[in-house]
Structures are given as C-alpha cells and as structure tokens.
Amino acid sequence: MPGRKLRYTALGDSIARGIGATKQYGYVYFFRDFLQKKHGDIHLSNRAISGIKSSVLLAQLKFDPITRYAVKNAEVITISIGGNNLLVGARANYYSISDSRANTGVVNFKKDWLKILHEIRQGIKSNAKIYTMTIYNPFKGDDENYKVANNYIHQINAEIRDQTLIANYNYKIADVYNDFKGRVKHGTWKVCVKTHFSEKIRDPHPTDIGHKDISRSHEKIYQ
C-alpha cells in the first residue's frame, strides 16, 4: 500500500496480548511481522486486554473511543476471545472443572458473539478483513478433563464456525483448536510443547512455539 501503512488492529484477551511468550512477543506480533513482509510498514494497534470475557470485548467495542477508532480505520482485524468465558470454571490448578460455571460461560459467549460481529460491521462500520481463532484445549487427549473441557470448547467453537454468521459478517477462522490437538511426531502431546500447561503451575497460555503456530494458522488463511 504505497504512501500509507496498512493498519492492523488486534482485539481480544491475554493470548492476543502476548501472555506466555518471551517479552510478550506473541502471535499478534508474529502476524504483524508476516504482514510487514507482504505489505511493507504496518501500523499495529493492539487493543487486547488480559483476562477479558466476551462481554467485556463487546463493551470495549461499544464504548471505548480508542478501540472504536482503531477498528474503524483497520484493514486487518484479528480476534482472540472466549477462553476466559470457560476459565472461570477451572479449579485447583485446573484439576477440576465446574460444569455450572463453564456452561454459563458458553451461554454468555453465544449471546455476545453475534453482538460483537454486529458492532464491528454495523455499529462501527468496519470493512476490514477479520480473522478470528478457535479456542484450543490445553488438556492432554488422554486426560478425563480433556473430555469435559472439550464439551464446552466445542460449543464455543461451533458458534465461531457458524456458517450463517460467517456469511453475514464476512470473517475467516484460524483453526487453532485442531493445530493444538494431538501429538507431535515423537509422541509428545502438542499442548505440552505449545502451551505452559504441563508445568508445575499449570498455565494454559501458549509458549513461544505456540504463539508462532497461532500466527501461522492466521497466515495460512490470509488473503
């Protein structure tokens, strides 16, 4: 884009903020670097806030003038949201999951996601390319909690993947869920490499490798 920097706005939670990465240089910054190779100089506005649920992102889009301006003027938008809707259900260093809290998180996400998309497209009137990511499961595939968490994660991801919403609001999906699922070639669970969840104090945030892979998931679908 000669004479003008391409404007990239990142929305969402701690993953978009870069938590888990060295010096918080997370997927948003790796994706920014990718865009820079394609387009030259990039203006990045990272409006992500650690710890937010979908309801807070919706409020941010409606009422925060800096975020609204960044969204309005962006050519590219990425969104990472929904994980914290479920994390409220985690207990005892993620060794137990509260079904009632996780279910409430899913219900709230389903109410908010349509409104988030509507606010971006109709409220702010953004014409940007929108890329959102699916939520990954940090538990190992042989863990009983993996199955419990998967139930709720699938419900949120199904809402993100809703074909009517995709058609109406014109966004693309980086399938991080499947990229983090299963094992690497030598047999280690991918989440043990791509997240900090196998450490003594379990942390579901991506490692540097995980953040780079999330960026690559976005790069694969970028047009």
Q: Identify the structural domains of the chain with CATH numbers, from first to last.
A: 6-221 (3.40.50.1110)
Q: Which two tokens stand for residue 27?
A: 């997927």
Q: Averaged over 84-104, what is the pLDDT?
A: 90
Q: Averaged over 75-82, what is the pLDDT?
A: 98
Confidence of residue 1 (pLDDT cuts 50, 70, 90): very low
Q: Which two tokens stand for residue 147?
A: 């199955």
Q: Which two tokens stand for residue 90?
A: 């985690």
Q: Which two tokens stand for residue 177?
A: 């869920």
Digit-coded pLDDT (tens) for 123-162:
999 999 999 999 999 999 999 999 999 999 999 999 999 9
* pLDDT at residue 17, as a whole number: 98
* pLDDT at residue 89, as a whole number: 83
Q: Which strands form 6-12's sheet, in the order they lie side by side?
A: 42-46, 6-12, 76-80, 129-133, 171-174
